[in-house]
Chain A
Amino acid sequence: MAKLTAQQLIAQLKRTQEDALTFKELWLGYFPPELTLPPDHEIKNAVRRLSLADLATGIESYVAKLSEKTHPPTSESAMKYVCATAWKILEKENPDQEFHPTARRQRNAERDPNSPQWDAEAFEDATPEERQRIIAETIAQQKATGAK
Chain B
Amino acid sequence: MTTLCEMILECRAIKGMDKLVLYGWAAQLAEGNDTLYASKETVAEFIGVSDDTVLRKTKALVKDGWLIDTGERKQWAFGWTPVRTINVPVIVELFEAQYRNLRPPAECTPPQNAAQGYRFRFPGSFDSPFSAPAVGEYKSSAPKAEDKSKEVGQTKNLELRTVEPKPTPTPHGQSKSCSDCGEPLQRDVNHFLVCKVAKGNSELDEYLGDMPPCPNLDGIGELMNFDKDDDYDGTPLFPFGQKPNGKKAEEAKQRVEAVGQKTEESIMEEGRTTPTATHAHNNVPPICTVCAKSPCRSLTSDYCIDCWNERQRTGVIPKFVDEIRPIGY
Contacts and interface: CB of A to CB of B under 8 A. Distances in A.
A42 to B, nearest CB: 8
A53 B34 CA distance: 23
Interface in A34-61: 39-41, 44-45, 48
A5 B129 contact: yes
Given A13-B88, A41-B72, A3 B3 contact: yes
Contact of B31 (A4, A39, A40, A41): A4
A39 B88 contact: no
Task: Please classify how large the interface on chain A is, using the bins under 10, 10 to 19, 20 to 34, 35 or more.
Answer: 10 to 19
B72 A5 contact: no
A139 interface: no
B32 A9 contact: yes
B89 interface: yes
Contacts of A9: 3-4, 32, 88, 92
Contacts of A7: 92, 131-132
B96 A10 contact: no
A36 B132 CA distance: 41
Nearest to A6: B92
A44 B29 CA distance: 13
Contact of B72 (A4, A12, A40): A40
B37 A41 contact: yes
Contacts of A13: 32, 34, 88
Contacts of A3: 2-3, 31, 128-129
Nearest to A16: B32
Contacts of A144: none
Contacts of B96: 6
A1 interface: yes
Interface string B87-113: 011001001100000000000000000
Interface in A2-25: 2-10, 12-13, 16
Task: Please classify how large the interface on chain B is, using the bins under 10, 10 to 19, 20 to 34, 35 or more.
Answer: 20 to 34
A13 B91 CA distance: 13
Nearest to B2: A3
Contacts of A41: 35, 37, 70, 72, 74, 83
Contacts of B130: 5-6
B7 interface: yes
A48 B33 contact: yes
A45 B131 contact: no
B30 interface: yes
B72 A1 contact: no
A133 B37 CA distance: 40
B99 to A, nearest CB: 10
Residue among A6, A8, A44 with max Cβ neighbours from chain B (10 Å)? A6
Nearest to B92: A6
B133 interface: yes
A5 B95 CA distance: 12
The 7 closest A-B pairs by CB, nearest first: A1-B31, A5-B131, A12-B32, A6-B92, A41-B35, A41-B83, A4-B3
